[in-house]
A and B are shown apart, each in its own frame.
Chain A
């Protein structure tokens, strides 16, 4: 696709339920990133992938959060046993490869707005 695609755009679920958020990066981009945007914490890095491997998972808030990437393309962020503090906008970004050189900007999707009741 032309840009990073995230689904669903909005998700409302009850506390304690599991949710899966999907990210489809720009075709050919080998690096993929997840961020969380919340009122209290601002924008926070969660995890990134280079290909299918995740060298840095340090930003995941708890062991209820996990992410995977298959085929070097689509990624899924899973939150188990959701809590109200998980309510936030989850943003995905991709770049041609890891690195902050001039040609490696992170391109962001429009996010998934998650609301936990």
Chain B
């Protein structure tokens, strides 16, 4: 079965500081990996996805993630946090055509 583990349910960063959200995956086949963001009372918005074309994936809002097969990781980073980055972030994996399996989520707060 495919699954992801997000390390840290809450992350607090200062505005302008690095944002690092950790995700490790477990998959018996080459996975498709995703990061989604959820703002309060809204649905999920796709930040970026890995589909084996490149190990470093750039997404929206200045986020990027690096796929490391040796570490089974797909960590999300942003060099400089903005107040608007405060939200909940979900890592997800799919090893088939349709079903996404999500991590438990990481809530990001940004301090002024």
Which of A's residues lie within 8 Å of B, judged by CB? 4, 31, 33, 35, 42-43, 45, 48, 56, 59, 91, 93, 98-102, 105-111, 113
Closest chain-B Cβ to A74's Cβ sits at a distance in Å of: 17
Cα–Cα, bound, A110→B96 (Å): 25
* Interface Cβ pair total, 8 Å cutoff: 58
Question: Do B51 and A45 have beta carbons less than 8 Å apart?
Answer: no
* A31 and B49 form a contact (CB under 8 A): no
Contact-residue bracket for chain B: 20 to 34
What 8 pairs between A and B have smallest CB-CB spacing?
Answer: A108-B43, A43-B102, A100-B32, A108-B44, A110-B43, A98-B97, A45-B99, A48-B98
> Which residues on the B side are within 8 Å of A56 (C-beta)?
98-99
Q: Is the CB of A101 within 8 A of B98?
A: no
How many Å from the CB of A30 to the closest CB on chain B? 12
Interfacial chain B residues near A91, Cβ < 8 Å? 43-44
Is A48's CB under 8 angstroms from B43's CB?
no
Q: Are B43 and A111 touching (Cβ within 8 A)?
A: yes
In Å, the complex CA distance between A115 and B17 comes to 38
- Known interface pairs A98-B98, A100-B51, A110-B43; 6 further A-B residue pairs with C-beta atoms within 8 A, sorted by A's residue number: A33-B100, A43-B92, A101-B51, A102-B51, A106-B100, A111-B42
Q: How far is the CA of A71 from the CA of B26 in the complex (A)?
A: 37
B4 nearest CB across to chain A (Å): 11
Which residues does chain B contribute within 8 Å of A106, judged by CB atoms? 46, 100
On chain A, the residues within 8 Å of B104 by CB distance are 42
Of the candidates B41, B46, B90, B98, which one forms a contact with A43 in the assembled complex, judged by CB atoms under 8 Å apart?
B90
